[in-house]
């Protein structure tokens, strides 16, 4: 935890107000959000108030995202217009951030809350208050004279005048406590001991636990594994293992939320996680004590002694240690908003501006190298003059391959980085397209958002007014029945969603050249990464199967198989499983097993009807037969038809 005392006292000269916008100090993950406004101080009834504006000079609204802009545009507008007094960041339901505004509080009160949140904190424009920005969600905003707390529908003025130089952390426990304090209207208890800094950082706690004699057990639990009767039992086990190294409730929660155990219950039941941590602490019979004696005169000891001062603490003005863990924290601070790690897959994800992609091009490595080079920049800063030599040497050492790899490996468990497979593509009513994300329930298009954790993209621009005359003409020719066309249109619309409640498998059948594959390929072209072409034998009875065949279904909306072999019998139990909306257990080669919710719909095509041995209603109610009885004569076939349909993808999507 970073100590806020120096920040509070050293910035005392700013009491008269923050005049300068310190752009470089503002966290990069906030800069990446399109949730910025500019503001002007105006007087109403003789009292000053902050009025929001767009960069075009029109009024802005903290509840209307169409009036917000990018960080760069907001800064440019502020710097070019002397009438503006600053920039502001809007909290909304689409981002994970929460703001605590501490104003008119005593220094002890302010310090207590800043230390408890242990997240990025800056001085407000007045110079008399503090803005804490963390990651948390609240039922609604609430306020008292001593402070305010918001997670949506409000904005914070942003100055960059840092008083607590910490990353933006997960701080749900601290936010809950602050919220309850404001809601109850209590005063801060005089008997309550002030918050103390944990002995270790979050990353240090994890490292020590992993390197202990029972480290293998900790790693298994931390990654969401281990043998337990229930997930609640696993949660308690993880909390107890962490509590051996730290008794700080907020730190225990942060570490747990960064683990593979994280699940919806922790947030749906607001006291569950807090109660679990309290139970772990109340049952604690032992705690960790660092070794008092260790061999001296080692190279590591010498470097450490060169780095720290006589009190054994990291210099107050140094943000990160000159260690592999310090480098991992640097990487997350600089690029964490665009990086996630899935332990079950042993893979990194990188955000490309539209969706999260498995990093198969070395993006994480490139960002790690950029982070290494940034250490030279730290050495050049005037405030680090005393540490320049150590930082410069550390920058050189950090360029070694082993050091870069260590940085990346240690970052895998940093708070906010780990996600589980089931966290991805979770909202079945969002469809990601090139020009934004479609809210399928309303048909509205909005901007891409990191927090959606979407990994798919349909390679098409959404235009609700787009038309597809060729597509409609082809369907009318191949499916003369208006009733069948209406059914097929509803099914295609259903395939845009991740909803599987209808539990259907659509089977296109018919002999000859009748356009079945043309129709399916056009749909797969339109859906892009949301569509999967499965092997013809996926759903048929065969001697054996491998769970890797099912892993590709994760996040898919449409799974199509063309030319199912004649006479092949459908694997009825698998059909029921894949159309029933049940969780699917799968893995790829060299992966642990993981589970995911089914989101796909099945579309099969063959010359003949499927062979089904069972006669029970459960299997036949799922299969919907669509006959393709029209044979297209040779002279009517158009080799350019697939290209023509590809050009109508926006229209097919709107159809």
| Helix (H), strand (E) counts: the chain | 24, 23
Cβ proximity of 555 and 599 under 8 Å: yes
Residue 189 lies inside a defined structural domain of this protein: no
- Spell out the SS3 assignment of 247-294: CCHHHHHHHHHCCCCCCCHHHHCCCHHHHHHHHHHHCCCCCCCCCCCC
Residue 517's domain is classified under what CATH number?
Answer: 3.40.50.300
Q: Is the pLDDT of residue 469 over 50?
A: yes
Residue 40 lies inside a defined structural domain of this protein: yes
Range of the domain at 249: 202-421
**Same domain for 377 and 338:** yes
**Same domain for 289 and 395:** yes
Nearest to 150 by CA among 159, 140, 158: 140
**Same domain for 474 and 385:** no
Residue 563 lies inside a defined structural domain of this protein: yes
Range with the poorest average pLDDT among 102-111, 290-299, 353-362, 380-389? 290-299
**Same domain for 257 and 180:** no
Residue 610 lies inside a defined structural domain of this protein: yes
Domain end, chosen from 184, 215, 240, is at 184
**Same domain for 234 and 119:** no
Cβ proximity of 129 and 207 under 8 Å: no
Placement of tokens 């529908």 in the chain: 153
Range with the poorest average pLDDT among 310-324, 360-374, 436-450? 310-324
Q: How high is the pLDDT of residue 293?
A: 42
Q: Tell me what the mean pLDDT of segment 577-590 comes to.
A: 63
- Using CA atoms, how far apart are residues 224 and 306, in angstroms rounded to an integer? 39
Residue 445 lies inside a defined structural domain of this protein: no
Q: Residues near 632 by Cβ (< 8 Å), separated by ≥ 6?
A: 477, 478, 513, 514, 515
Q: Is the pLDDT of residue 313 over 50?
A: no
Q: How high is the pLDDT of residue 75?
A: 92
Q: Tell me the CA distances in angstroms from 615 to 149, 251, 380, 625, 626, one per residue in order.
A: 60, 57, 77, 16, 20
**Same domain for 128 and 35:** yes
Placement of tokens 């909390």 in the chain: 239
Where does the pLDDT of residue 653 fall: very low under 50, low under 70, confident under 90, or very high at 90 and above? confident
Residue 333 lies inside a defined structural domain of this protein: yes
Q: Tens digit of pLDDT for each residue in 20-33?
A: 788 888 998 899 89
Domain end, chosen from 135, 152, 184, is at 184
Token representation of residue 387: 């540490």
Nearest to 342 by CA among 526, 591, 136, 86: 591
- Using CA atoms, how far apart are residues 78 and 72, in angstroms rounded to an integer? 10
Q: Is the pLDDT of residue 297 over 90?
A: no
- Using CA atoms, how far apart are residues 472 and 9, in angstroms rounded to an integer? 71
Q: Tell me what the mean pLDDT of segment 412-423 comes to.
A: 89
Residue 440 lies inside a defined structural domain of this protein: no
Nearest to 198 by CA among 137, 136, 244, 262: 244
Residue 131 lies inside a defined structural domain of this protein: yes
Token representation of residue 560: 């199509």
Q: Which helix (H) or strand (E) holds 340?
A: strand 339-342
Q: Is the pLDDT of residue 210 over 90?
A: no
Where does the pLDDT of residue 105 fall: very low under 50, low under 70, confident under 90, or very high at 90 and above? confident
> Which has more pLDDT, 361 or 286?
361
Q: Tens digit of pLDDT for each residue in 436-450?
A: 999 988 888 999 999
Range with the poorest average pLDDT among 153-157, 543-547, 563-567? 543-547
Q: How high is the pLDDT of residue 348?
A: 94
Where does the pLDDT of residue 187 fall: very low under 50, low under 70, confident under 90, or very high at 90 and above? very low
Range with the poorest average pLDDT among 402-406, 469-473, 547-551, 567-571? 567-571
Q: Tens digit of pLDDT for each residue in 30-64?
A: 998 999 999 998 877 777 788 999 999 999 998 88
**Same domain for 317 and 224:** yes
Q: Is the pLDDT of residue 510 over 70?
A: yes
Q: What percent of the chain has pLDDT over 90?
A: 16
Q: Tell me what the mean pLDDT of segment 264-284 comes to.
A: 79
**Same domain for 228 and 172:** no
Q: Residues for the chain: how many in total?
A: 655
**Same domain for 207 and 180:** no
User: What value does the mean pLDDT of the chain take?
Assistant: 78
Q: Tell me the CA distances in angstroms from 541 to 582, 583, 594, 616, one per residue in order.
A: 20, 21, 24, 18
Q: Is the pLDDT of residue 116 over 60?
A: yes
Where does the pLDDT of residue 265 fall: very low under 50, low under 70, confident under 90, or very high at 90 and above? confident
**Helix, coil or strand: residue 223:** coil
Q: Is the pLDDT of residue 374 over 90?
A: no
- Using CA atoms, how far apart are residues 109 and 104, in angstroms rounded to an integer? 10
- Using CA atoms, how far apart are residues 209 and 520, in angstroms rounded to an integer? 52
Q: Looking at the 3D structure of the chain, how many domains does it have?
A: 3
- Using CA atoms, how far apart are residues 251 and 433, in angstroms rounded to an integer? 38
- Using CA atoms, how far apart are residues 459 and 438, in angstroms rounded to an integer? 13
**Same domain for 493 and 356:** no
Q: How high is the pLDDT of residue 68?
A: 95
How many other C-beta atoms can be found within 10 angstroms of the C-beta atom of residue 530? 25
Q: How high is the pLDDT of residue 538?
A: 62
Where does the pLDDT of residue 299 fall: very low under 50, low under 70, confident under 90, or very high at 90 and above? very low
**Same domain for 402 and 337:** yes
CB burial of residue 580 (10 Å; 0-12, 13-18, 19+):
middle
Q: Tell me what the mean pLDDT of segment 148-175 comes to.
A: 86
Domain end, chosen from 390, 421, 452, is at 421
Strands, sheet with 347-351, edge to edge from the N-terminal-most edge strand:
339-342, 347-351, 356-358
Q: How high is the pLDDT of residue 70?
A: 94
Q: Tell me the CA distances in angstroms from 525 to 31, 240, 383, 388, 642, one per residue in order.
A: 35, 50, 55, 55, 10
User: Which residues are paired to 595 by β-bridges?
Assistant: 585
- Using CA atoms, how far apart are residues 602 and 574, in angstroms rounded to an integer? 12
Q: Tens digit of pLDDT for each residue in 588-627?
A: 655 556 677 777 788 888 777 766 665 555 566 777 888 8
> Which has more pLDDT, 61 or 180?
61
Q: How high is the pLDDT of residue 537?
A: 61
**Same domain for 126 and 49:** yes
- Using CA atoms, how far apart are residues 221 and 234, in angstroms rounded to an integer? 7
Q: Tell me what the mean pLDDT of segment 97-106 comes to.
A: 83
Q: How high is the pLDDT of residue 608?
A: 72
């Amino acid at each position: 935890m970073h100590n806020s005392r120096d920040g509070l006292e050293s910035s005392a000269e700013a009491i008269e107000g923050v005049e300068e916008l310190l752009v470089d100090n503002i966290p990069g993950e906030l800069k990446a959000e399109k949730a910025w406004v500019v503001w002007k101080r105006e007087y109403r009834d003789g009292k000053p108030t902050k009025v929001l504006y767009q960069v075009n000079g029109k009024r802005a609204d903290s509840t209307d995202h169409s009036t917000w802009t990018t960080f760069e545009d907001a800064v440019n507008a502020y710097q070019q217009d002397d009438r503006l007094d600053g920039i502001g960041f809007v909290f909304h339901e689409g981002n994970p951030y929460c703001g605590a505004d501490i104003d008119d509080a005593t220094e002890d009160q302010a310090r207590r809350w800043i230390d408890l949140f242990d997240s990025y904190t800056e001085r407000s424009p007045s110079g008399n208050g503090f803005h804490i920005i963390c990651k948390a969600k609240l039922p609604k905003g609430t306020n008292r004279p001593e402070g305010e707390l918001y997670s949506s529908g409000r904005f914070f003025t942003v100055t960059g005048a840092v008083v607590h130089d910490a990353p933006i952390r997960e701080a749900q426990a601290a936010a809950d406590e602050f919220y309850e304090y404001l809601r109850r209207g209590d005063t801060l208890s005089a008997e309550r001991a002030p918050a103390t800094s944990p002995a270790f950082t979050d990353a240090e706690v994890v490292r020590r636990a992993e390197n202990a004699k029972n480290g293998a057990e900790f790693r298994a639990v931390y990654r969401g594994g281990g043998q337990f009767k229930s997930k609640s039992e696993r949660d308690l086990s993880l909390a107890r293992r962490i509590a051996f190294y730290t008794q700080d409730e907020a730190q225990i929660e942060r570490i747990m939320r960064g683990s593979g155990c994280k699940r919806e219950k922790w947030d749906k039941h607001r006291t569950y996680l807090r109660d679990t941590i309290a139970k772990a602490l109340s049952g604690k019979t032992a705690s960790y004590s660092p070794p008092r004696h260790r061999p001296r005169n080692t190279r590591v000891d010498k470097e450490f002694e060169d780095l720290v001062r006589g009190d054994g603490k990291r210099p107050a003005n140094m943000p990160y240690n000159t260690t592999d863990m310090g480098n991992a924290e640097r990487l997350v601070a600089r690029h964490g908003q665009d990086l996630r790690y899935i332990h079950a897959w042993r893979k990194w994800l990188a955000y490309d501006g539209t969706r999260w992609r498995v990093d198969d091009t070395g993006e994480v490595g490139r960002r790690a190298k950029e982070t290494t080079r940034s250490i030279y920049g730290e050495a050049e800063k005037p405030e680090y003059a005393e540490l320049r030599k150590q930082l410069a040497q550390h920058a050189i050492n950090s360029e070694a391959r082993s050091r870069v790899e260590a940085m990346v490996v240690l970052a895998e468990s940093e708070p906010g980085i780990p996600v589980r497979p089931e966290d991805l593509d979770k909202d079945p009513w969002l469809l990601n397209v090139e020009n934004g994300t479609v809210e399928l329930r309303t048909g509205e298009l909005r901007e891409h958002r990191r927090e959606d954790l979407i990994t798919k993209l349909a390679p098409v621009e959404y235009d609700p007014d787009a038309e597809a005359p060729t597509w409609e003409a082809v369907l009318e020719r191949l499916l003369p029945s208006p009733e069948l066309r209406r059914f097929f249109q509803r099914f295609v619309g259903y395939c845009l969603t991740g909803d599987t409640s209808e539990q259907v498998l659509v089977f296109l059948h018919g002999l000859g050249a009748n356009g079945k594959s043309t129709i399916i390929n056009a749909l797969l072209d339109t859906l892009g990464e949301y569509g999967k072409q499965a092997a013809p034998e996926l759903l048929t009875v065969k001697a054996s199967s491998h769970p890797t065949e099912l892993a590709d279904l994760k996040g898919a909306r449409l799974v199509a198989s063309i030319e199912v072999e004649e006479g092949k019998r459908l694997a009825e139990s698998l059909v029921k499983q894949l159309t029933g909306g049940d969780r699917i257990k799968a893995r790829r080669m060299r992966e642990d097993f993981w589970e995911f919710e089914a989101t796909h719909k099945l579309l099969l095509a063959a010359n003949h009807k499927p062979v089904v041995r069972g006669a029970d209603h459960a299997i036949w109610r799922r299969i919907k037969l669509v006959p393709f009885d029209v044979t297209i004569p040779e002279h009517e076939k158009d080799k350019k038809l697939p290209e023509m349909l590809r050009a109508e993808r926006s229209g097919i999507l709107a159809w």
